[in-house]
Structure 1
Amino acid sequence: MKRFLLLIACIAASVSSCKKADYQKVTHNPELYRITVKKLNDIVLENNFPPVIASRNYVYANIAAYEVIAAGDPKHYRSLAGQIKHMPATPKPEKGKDIDFQFASLLSFCYVGNAVTFPEGSMFTYVDELKQKAKDAGMPSDVFENSVTYSDSLAKAIMRWSKKDNYAQTRSASKYTVVRKDGRWIPTPPMYAQALEPHWGEIRPMVLDSASQIPAPEPPPYNMADKNSVFYKSVMDVKGKVDSLTTDQTHMVDFWDDNAFKLNVIGHASFATKKFGPAGHWMNIAGIGSKMTNADFNTTVAAYTKASIAVFDAFINCWYIKYQSNSVRPETVINKLIDPDWKPHIQTPPFPEYISGHAVISAAAAETLTDSFGDKKAYTDASESEFGIPPRSFKSFRDAAREASMSRVYGGIHYKIACDIGTQTGIKIGDLVNQKLQMKIK
């Protein structure tokens, strides 16, 4: 009889173990995290978030997800609290509570993603799908409830912290004053939009001590009178490249355009086309890195988080420099002094030229992804296919960042020096993030 009861107990334990393994195969799958980040990316695209604000959407959502992972696996991951100096300690899981930390991580990402996007609640339907997926996979009710409760408490803590980053204050800050003086930025066609987020340099960074911590040299002085001046040669270099684009260069420019809101004007009619911005593109690349290296769920979350922090800080640093330099765009100079009908290949964005934002954030993201997944990881990026743009292949994340930088010159919206300095600045920011954030315990 004792042997029979022991056999029954073993069978019950085995069934229970199988059920647990079944639901964890679903909730611990890194592909589910990649899909969840892409879901936020789609919402950012649909709602026309400017690139700098999009970076804020991604960073807080990813940090919330990561903090859940660090709480659930403290032997292998460190909390960012304290590593990010102003970040307070996050709630710890209650002892004795059985929590699926990967599932809770997904929910925390969505909770914060809901709160930092508009219309608020854009991810509610997707959250319901995640919860149903866990239930359908056999997650026990107590594990489900414990996971939801913990994810909510941690996400709320991240939201309280996020509200102190000066974002709300910059919503009512003064608008940019356009000064029509040679060498200074002025609005460009076809939108002639006002300067985008002139106070973004006042946002609280994550790893940088301040927006000005990594300075850039002064841009070449405006000088179109001297054909031997650096500025004149830079202008003519841009014009020459745009006027003689090869098929591959055209593909490169279109691939890295990442214009979240392009205004198309045909006669008296106008309409907008949307893509994800630079931050969203690099979130996609983080997903590619995760997939091609077969990274597990926790490694995947950590890599996305580190990349999003680098991108966020890179935008703050870059925007500070942009509104210190207030440099004129190539289109303005060429239209005024060389050819009034000349147009860049891609639309000039509404903010000063120096330094290149895409160069800075691409280099910063590439350094963190190299740290997370390794160097010289060749990959093909098909994330632009949804916009009808064929894939491109790269030898490494750094190779992609260099091409992203140069695409802005061939696109006609940046001088090469702004891209070169932007790349150098981004590398420094990425290095700093890698050095300061010791996320994985080796």
Structure 2
Amino acid sequence: MRSFLFCLTGVLFLFASCKKPDYEKVIHDPELYRVTVKKLNDIVLENNFPPVTASRNYVYANIAAYEVIASGDPEHFKSLSGQIKHLPAVPKASKDTAVDYQFASLLAFCTVGNAVTFPEGSMDQYVGALKQKAEDAGMPSDLFEGSVNYAGKVAKFILKWSKGDHYAQTRSASKYTVKQQDGRWIPTPPMYAQALEAHWGEIRPMVLDSTAQFIPPDPPVFNVKDHNSPFYKQALEVKQIVDSLTKEEKHQADFWDDNAFKLNVVGHASFATKKFSPGGHWMNITAIGTRSKKFDFGTTVSVYTETAIALFDGFINCWYLKYRSNYVRPETIITKYIDADWRPYIQTPPFPEYSSGHAVISSAAAEVLTNRIGDDFAYTDSSEMEFGIDPLSFKSFRMAAKSAAMSRVMGGIHFKNACVVGNKQGAEIGQLVVKKLQLKIK
């Protein structure tokens, strides 16, 4: 009888030990985190959030996920509390509560991503699927409940903290005043939309000491009378580039277009097409890098989080500069002074020209990814294939950032100076993020 009981106990022990690895194998898979970020990216696209507001979703959702990971593994990951000077200490799980920190990080990500600017409930169905996945994989009920509760606690804390970033105040701030003033930005066809997020430079940054920390020299002064002036020459350069685009250059412009809302006009009819934002594109690139390097779950979360912080601060710094300069777009100058029938290759977005937002945030993200993954990381980016655009290959993240910057000139929506300057501006922001933050403890 004792022998039978011993064997039965052994069988039960083996069964229990098999169940634990089952749910860990499923839930602790870093690919699940990448899929979750992509789900958020898809919802950003579906809800037509512009690039700057999208960056806010990415940063708070990733920080919530990361703080859960750091709480569960302080030996390898350092909390951002104290590193981001305005982030208070994030609550820990009680000692008598069982928590699966990977599962909790996924739930915290979704809760925050769902609440920051989205219509309530946008991720509910996906969260339900995550919970079902954990239950189906055999996660014990006490661990499941403890993880759900702790995720909710961290998400609530991060959401409360997020409300201090001045976002709500900018919703009712004064709109940009359109003035017919030489060299000043005015709405462009075909939408002639009002200036986008004119007060985003007032949003509280994560790492920057101030929104105006990295400000490049002023762009060339308006002068169309002198055809040898730097201003006129830069406009003529854009026209000449767009008028002679090669197939490869068109591909590059299309690849980095990342227009969250393009208005297509056909005769008297119009319709919109959407893509993910520039920040969303770099979230996809982060997926490529972390997947290729086979990073574990926690490291994957940390790379996403650091990249999202660089994107967020990059947009704030760039938007501050845009609405300080209120610089005119090439399309406005070329059609008024050079060729009335000219059009850019891609659609001009509705905000001032200087400096290039895509150049800034791409370079900022590239610095973080270069530091975390490597300068010699060659990769192929196929994330645009869902929009019918062929992949592009790059020798490094920095080369990709330069490609993104110059694509705006090929698209006809930026002067080259704004892209060169923006690339440098973004690199300085990314380097500051790398210098100030330590997420992964070596």
Residue aligning to 2:317 = 317
Post-superposition Cα deviations, 1:4-50, rounded to whole Å, max 9, x if no partner, equal 65555444333222211110000000110011000010100001101
> What is the identity, as a one-letter code, of the residue corresponding to 1:340?
A
Q: CA deviation at 1:98?
A: 2.0
Contact in 2 for aligned 1:261/1:273 (Cα 8 Å): yes
2:53 equivalent to 1:50: no
**SS of residue in 1 equivalent to 2:383:** coil
Counterpart residue number, 1:255: 255
Amino acid at match of 2:394: F
For 1:376 and 1:314, locate their aligned partners in 2 and report how far apart those are by CA, in whole Å.
Answer: 23
Partner of 1:144: 144
Counterpart CA distance in 1 for 2:346 and 2:95 is 55
- 1:297-376 correspondence runs (5 A): 297-376=297-376
Partner of 2:391: 391
> Could you tell me which amino acid in structure 1 is paired with residue 317 of structure 2?
N
Distance across 2 between alignment mates of 1:69 and 1:4: 43
Instruction: Report the Cα distance in structure 2 between the residues aligned to 1:404 and 1:363, rounded to whole angstroms.
Output: 9
Match for 2:392: what amino acid? R
Which residue matches 1:377?
377
**Distance across 2 between alignment mates of 1:432 and 1:11:** 55
Counterpart code for 1:273: T
- 2-structure distance, mates of 1:82, 1:381: 35
Tell me by how many angstroms 1:215 deviates. 1.3
Matched with 2:14 is: 14
**Helix, strand or coil at the partner of 2:159:** helix
Match of 1:166 in 2: 166
Q: Which amino acid aligns with 1:91?
A: P
Query: 2:201 maps to what in 1?
Result: 201
1:397-408 map, 5 Å? 397-408=397-408
Cα distance in 2 between the residues matched to 1:298 and 1:220: 46
Residue 265 of structure 1 aligns to a residue whose secondary structure is strand
Decide which moves more: 274-283 or 367-376. 367-376
1:24 aligned partner: 24
* Paired residues for 1:41-80 under 5 Å: 41-80=41-80
Structure 1 position 248, deviation (Å): 0.4
**Is residue 441 of structure 2 the alignment partner of residue 441 of structure 1?**
yes
Map 1:215-234 onto structure 2 (within 5 A). 215-234=215-234
Instruction: State the shift of 1:117 in Å.
Output: 3.3
CA contact (8 A) 1:98 1:143 kept: yes
3-state secondary structure, aligned to 2:303: helix
Cα distance per residue 1:331-358 (max 9 Å; x no partner): 0000001111100000000100000000
Q: Is the 8 A contact 1:44 1:117 kept in 2?
A: no
Q: What's the TM-score, normalizing by structure 1?
A: 0.98
What is the CA–CA distance in structure 2 between the aligned matches of 1:117 and 1:163, rounded to whole Å?
Answer: 11
CA distance in 1 between counterparts of 2:201 and 2:47 reads 23
CA shift for structure 1 position 113: 1.0
- Residue by residue over 1:293-314, the C-alpha shift from the partner in whole angstroms, topping out at 9 and shown as x without a partner, is 1111111100000000000000
CA distance in 2, matches of 1:62, 1:380: 24
- CA distance 1:326–1:146, shift in 2 (3 Å): same
More deviation in 56-65 or 372-381?
Answer: 372-381
2: CA distance, partners of 1:226 / 1:106:
58
Alignment partner of 2:380: what SS?
strand
CA contact (8 A) 1:51 1:278 kept: yes
Letter paired with 1:262: K
- Distance in 2, matches of 1:164 and 1:45, equals 26
* Rounded Cα–Cα distance in structure 1 between residues aligned with 2:5 and 2:77: 41
Greater mean deviation of Cα atoms: 216-225 or 235-244: 216-225
CA distance in 1, matches of 2:141, 2:7: 26
CA distance in 1, matches of 2:406, 2:441: 36
Matched to 2:24, the amino acid is Q
Letter in 2 for 1:34: R
Give deviations 1:189-213, integer Å, cap 9, x for gaps.
0011111001000000000011101
> How far has the Cα of 1:59 moved from its partner?
0.5
| Percentage of pairs with the same residue | 69
Q: How many residue pairs were aligned?
A: 442
Mapping of 1:257-276 within 5 angstroms? 257-276=257-276
1 CA distance for matches of 2:202 and 2:255? Answer: 31
Paired with 1:374 and 1:420, the residues of 2 have a C-alpha distance of: 23
Residue in structure 2 matched with residue 427 of structure 1 by the alignment: 427
**1:213 is aligned to 2:216:** no
Structure 1 position 295 matched with structure 2 position 290: no
SS at match of 2:354: coil
Letter in 1 for 2:280: G
Where 1:209 maps in the other structure, the secondary structure is coil
Unaligned runs of 5+ in 1: none
1:383/1:391 contact within 8 Å kept: yes
- Partners of 1:149 and 1:265 in 2: CA distance: 49
Instruction: Give 1:192's aligned residue.
Output: 192
Q: Supply the AA of the counterpart residue of 1:338.
A: I
Aligned-pair CA distance for 1:229: 1.7
Q: Which letter does structure 1 place at the counterpart of 2:89? A: A
2: CA distance, partners of 1:420 / 1:257:
17
Instruction: Name 1:92's counterpart in structure 2.
Output: 92
1:255-292 Cα distance to aligned partner (Å, 9 max, x none): 00000000011111111000001011000000011111
**Aligned-pair Cα RMSD in Å:** 1.1
Report whether the alignment pairs 1:243 with 2:248: no
- Cα shift at 1:227: 2.1
